[in-house]
Amino acid sequence: MSNDPHCALTPMPPDLPAPARPVSKVRWSVHLALMAALPVVAAFGGAASRGDGPALTHTVRGLLAVCAFEVLFFAIPFGLAWLASRASRDDLLLRWRPGILVVPLGVLYSVAIRLAAGIVVAIGVGIYIVSTHASPAQVQTFAAANRPQVEKLVDIQLLSHDPVYFWLTVILVSLVIGGLREELWRSSFLAGLRSLWPRTFGSTGGGIAGAAIAALFFGAGHLPQGILAAAMIAVVGFLLGVIMTLHRSVWPSVVAHGLFDAASIAMLPWAMQHFQEWQRMTGQGG
């Protein structure tokens, strides 16, 4: 030990940052290309292969088979993307942040996203009325003609009368297929943008811009459900991407997304019943 009295007062130098891991542009380009193609291929390939029936089929067994296929369909390109880029846990925002607040925040974000989606719908209706001078009846006709085609996703009658189908759809489809799988896709897509263009997408503001780009791909992947549904899903996807960026973690978005989907699916039987009653009252049921 040195006897120099100044040594005890000299602060230790801070730890040097770990050297930056070299980034292979080619490998990350493969990663991003796989992630960008996945939602579009999944949506339009699935729409072409299933015909007129709902994506989740008319049976519990079919529902389980579809879920297994969806997990596998995602896992293969996701795994190939990871093999190409060797993305780290931090690249994919997989750290559990912000601790015990993940679930409560996810619940609050789910409610906030639903409110924000309602505001966006109201603004869109207002713009449509002002720009087209549409009457209330014309607005109703347009909304009915362009409503989300939920029957292409799920069997509403079975959802109403089969509790096993209902709970599997609410829990398995919403939390795993929707919440976990789709948010892993989003974090992987954003990781590709950050790694290829760190100056553009590496900051918080850049991450929000990246969330907007991801939302376009996410919405395009839902076009078979109708253009209004795809637009609304793009808005929801953007908000989920913002949450992920702000917390630097995928988990608040996973919880928010899963709960948002679960509540939406749980309300479908009630919503469709009232929609059909409205159609009968207004004579728009054909």
How far from 276 is each of 1, 125, 267, CA to CA, in Å?
85, 21, 14
The Cα–Cα gap between 281 and 286 comes to 12
Report the predicted TM-score, pTM, of the whole model to 2 decimal places: 0.84
In a domain, 1, yes or no: no
Domain extent, residue 75, equals 25-43+50-87+98-282
153 or 2, which is more confident: 153
- Asked if residue 285 has pLDDT above 70, the reply is no
Confidence (pLDDT) at 194: 96
35: confidence class by pLDDT, cuts 50, 70, 90: very high
In a domain, 17, yes or no: no
14: confidence class by pLDDT, cuts 50, 70, 90: very low
- Count up the domains in the chain and report the number: 1
In a domain, 225, yes or no: yes
* The two structure tokens encoding residue 135: 């009457």
46: confidence class by pLDDT, cuts 50, 70, 90: low
Which residue is it, tokens 């409560």?
104
Determine which of 85-94, 105-114, 141-150, 219-228 has the lowest per-residue pLDDT on average: 141-150
Confidence (pLDDT) at 50: 55
Summarised one tens digit per residue, pLDDT across range 226-239 is 788 888 899 999 99
- Asked if residue 1 has pLDDT above 50, the reply is no
279: confidence class by pLDDT, cuts 50, 70, 90: low
Which amino acid, residue 157?
A: Q
Tell me the residue ranges of DSSP E strands in 61-170.
none
Average pLDDT over every residue of 65-78: 93
Percent of the chain with pLDDT over 90: 56
Among 197, 189, 179, 177, which residue's Cα sits nearest to residue 81?
A: 189
- Asked if residue 21 has pLDDT above 90, the reply is no
In a domain, 130, yes or no: yes
40: confidence class by pLDDT, cuts 50, 70, 90: confident
Determine which of 108-112, 146-150, 151-155 has the lowest per-residue pLDDT on average: 146-150
In a domain, 160, yes or no: yes
The helix (H) or strand (E) run that includes residue 68 is helix 60-85
Phi, psi of 53 (to 5 degrees): -75, 165
Cα atoms found within 13 Å of the Cα of residue 118, Cβ hemisphere only: 7
